[in-house]
Chain A
């Protein structure tokens, strides 16, 4: 046993990698179904959208790529489902190059299948990708058609019923950005600070700590922090709209709730390694002190 703790201090990283792999893979294959508790920042985001009126427009920006899709996809889908349930109209744009548009198209396709009564051009529209994120955001505040002359299919905005009355971002009730990197922050510093439009951000878990400063200062009305935030939102959605449970029940499709099982086991394993490592460290220090 003493040898085990001595070896802990010089443990080969590959043992840790093996445990990490198993702790993520096994719960994905065999879901546990652990409960999810909600936090204030996610609840504020949910209630803000719940308070919007039928017909209000929500701007949903896909500002992430395939690498953070497991965290951001469930967020974007949950928000779009809520919009569809509340009969809010939504406009989708993509400001992240390298894969963002494909993710947006996939998510919209999924929602369109789940809600067959949604009409493209009337209830929702996909504007596609535009380069130059911050410059596009500034332009959207003045003239949407100047930034996106056509939608993703090449149809001029003037021919899309939903966009005919929508000239600038000022007419939109909320911006939701599912973001990785800087683009999410620009919605706060370039758009909210200049136009005053409410922003909800769905950052990756790594970026989430930074946005608490913006939450506290009132520059954000809510935040879905990483996969945990997405799982919380899924829980809130199921709680308010029980008919949504069917989309989160299947074990084949990945959802944030399912991902939380893996994250829980992984955190447990990492905490155990940290505790064992500290015990071994103190044991060694005590031995050295005695010697």
Chain B
């Protein structure tokens, strides 16, 4: 290919079938996706090489700095290569996105591993789950609040129910609410997101019902504060300072408000248990809270606290999948080091 050559992609559209510029593509690019077509319409495509005109006196690239006198080049006009025209084509939506076949295989495999681990757990086999200090401390924290006659604060993060961390947090809230119902401890759940507020209220109400203490449930236990991040933080911080809870749970997806809430909670002397899967705010929780659930420990909480075989089984399945990924990673490192590019290509998804 001559220096400076590019490919012009043109398209002829119905009904006039005049050629129109679509894109200019650099050499070496093997694929161009034209996303502006209409399904069902018949188009023709043309690709041709174009070399831009060069003015007289242009330096030969690379000559500068060599100490040699750069040759003075003559002017060259723009040049066009022969056009390659496609047959008439029409796009239509496919039933399957072939570029994501590897992702589908991985998803199906992962699901099969999870489901078979659940079946394994249901058959009565004992499944080991390592000690997670933060989850062991949940009952201890609620017990402390009961002894002191103070509240338990539960802050379910700042995201909505479409975030899986919030779903996990509400599941843990159910467990905490059952414990507070059992011990008669006061619970306060301030919410930032309206959907989370609705789910949290239902989770707490059901928890109190299932413990046989519907009389202890009050609507104001689970309350909505505001949607704004820092207004919510200010309100909850002020509530912590005024009411001095004995135990604070900060479990869910937090952003910049995490340190303000955790540090304020620390100043009140409460025992604090935090948990977030995203690593961004974890350093602040580690520095200010008594216990922190890191990463997937948040998702393991349901299995850990309830010891339900089904949930334990899915933890086992998750670990098996992780082991497979580690093996693939190691194989990939070895393969790439030996010059074999197959594994990274196989794992690439568009």
* A residues neighboring B (CB under 8 Å): 13, 67-68, 98, 141-143, 165, 167-168, 170-171, 180-181, 193-196, 204, 206-207, 209-210
Pairwise interchain contact B255-A141, C-beta atoms closer than 8 A = no
Pairwise interchain contact A196-B350, C-beta atoms closer than 8 A = yes
| Neighbouring B residues of A210 by C-beta, 8 Å | 278-280
What are 26 A-B residue pairs whose CB atoms fall within 8 Å in the complex?
Answer: A13-B267, A67-B230, A67-B256, A68-B256, A141-B35, A142-B35, A143-B36, A165-B21, A167-B35, A167-B36, A168-B35, A168-B36, A170-B33, A171-B23, A180-B255, A180-B256, A193-B349, A193-B350, A194-B350, A195-B350, A204-B256, A206-B281, A207-B280, A209-B279, A210-B278, A210-B279
| Neighbouring A residues of B87 by C-beta, 8 Å | none
| Neighbouring A residues of B256 by C-beta, 8 Å | 67-68, 180, 204, 206
Tell me the bound Cα distance from A76 to B21 in angstroms. Answer: 32
- Does B215 touch A at the CB level, under 8 Å? no
- Does B219 touch A at the CB level, under 8 Å? no
New A-B contacts (14) at CB < 8 Å, excluding given A67-B229, A143-B35, A168-B35: A141-B35, A143-B36, A167-B35, A170-B33, A171-B23, A180-B255, A181-B255, A193-B349, A193-B350, A194-B350, A204-B256, A206-B280, A210-B278, A210-B280
Q: Which 5 A-B pairs have the closest CB atoms?
A: A167-B36, A168-B35, A207-B280, A210-B280, A142-B35
- Contacting A at CB under 8 A, from B217-268, are 228-230, 255-256, 267
| B contacts with A: majority SS | loop
Tell me the bound Cα distance from A90 to B280 in angstroms. Answer: 30
Give the Cβ gap from B9 to chain A, nearest Cβ, in Å: 11
Partner of B35, one of A165, A170, A193, A196: A170
Tell me the bound Cα distance from A68 to B230 in angstroms. Answer: 12
Give the Cβ gap from A144 to chain B, nearest Cβ, in Å: 10
| Neighbouring A residues of B229 by C-beta, 8 Å | 67
Tell me the bound Cα distance from A168 to B256 in angstroms. Answer: 33
Tell me the bound Cα distance from A209 to B278 in angstroms. Answer: 12
Give the Cβ gap from A130 to chain B, nearest Cβ, in Å: 18
Tell me the bound Cα distance from A287 to B281 in angstroms. Answer: 36
| Neighbouring A residues of B350 by C-beta, 8 Å | 193-196
| Neighbouring B residues of A171 by C-beta, 8 Å | 23
Who on chain B is nearest to A203 by CB? Answer: B280
Give the Cβ gap from B178 to chain A, nearest Cβ, in Å: 31
Who on chain B is nearest to A145 by CB? Answer: B36
Tell me the bound Cα distance from A113 to B256 in angstroms. Answer: 33
Tell me the bound Cα distance from A143 to B38 in angstroms. Answer: 11
| Neighbouring A residues of B267 by C-beta, 8 Å | 13
Tell me the bound Cα distance from A209 to B279 in angstroms. Answer: 9
Tell me the bound Cα distance from A170 to B25 in angstroms. Answer: 12
Per-residue CB proximity of B264-277 to A under 8 Å, as 1/0?
A: 00010000000000
Who on chain A is nearest to B253 by CB? Answer: A182
Tell me the bound Cα distance from A258 to B12 in angstroms. Answer: 55
Tell me the bound Cα distance from A68 to B33 in angstroms. Answer: 37
Tell me the bound Cα distance from A206 to B255 in angstroms. Answer: 9
Tell me the bound Cα distance from A168 to B21 in angstroms. Answer: 15
Tell me the bound Cα distance from A43 to B345 in angstroms. Answer: 28
Give the Cβ gap from B62 to chain A, nearest Cβ, in Å: 17
Pairwise interchain contact A98-B35, C-beta atoms closer than 8 A = no
Tell me the bound Cα distance from A141 to B350 in angstroms. Answer: 12
| Neighbouring A residues of B36 by C-beta, 8 Å | 143, 167-168
| Neighbouring B residues of A167 by C-beta, 8 Å | 35-36
| Neighbouring B residues of A67 by C-beta, 8 Å | 229-230, 256
Tell me the bound Cα distance from A236 to B281 in angstroms. Answer: 30
Which residue among B228, B280, B281, B349 has the maximum number of chain A CB atoms within 10 Å of its CB? B280
Tell me the bound Cα distance from A180 to B230 in angstroms. Answer: 14
- Contacting A at CB under 8 A, from B176-192, are none
| Neighbouring B residues of A143 by C-beta, 8 Å | 35-36
| Neighbouring A residues of B33 by C-beta, 8 Å | 170
- Contacting A at CB under 8 A, from B302-318, are none
Give the Cβ gap from B346 to chain A, nearest Cβ, in Å: 16
| Neighbouring A residues of B230 by C-beta, 8 Å | 67
Who on chain A is nearest to B21 by CB? Answer: A165
Tell me the bound Cα distance from A171 to B36 in angstroms. Answer: 11
| Neighbouring A residues of B349 by C-beta, 8 Å | 193
Tell me the bound Cα distance from A142 to B228 in angstroms. Answer: 32
| Neighbouring B residues of A207 by C-beta, 8 Å | 280
| Neighbouring B residues of A194 by C-beta, 8 Å | 350
Tell me the bound Cα distance from A252 to B23 in angstroms. Answer: 45
| Neighbouring A residues of B278 by C-beta, 8 Å | 210
Tell me the bound Cα distance from A171 to B228 in angstroms. Answer: 36
Tell me the bound Cα distance from A13 to B267 in angstroms. Answer: 10
Who on chain A is nearest to B255 by CB? Answer: A181
Which residue among B23, B255, B278 has the maximum number of chain A CB atoms within 10 Å of its CB? B255
Give the Cβ gap from A223 to chain B, nearest Cβ, in Å: 14
Give the Cβ gap from A169 to chain B, nearest Cβ, in Å: 9
Tell me the bound Cα distance from A143 to B228 in angstroms. Answer: 31
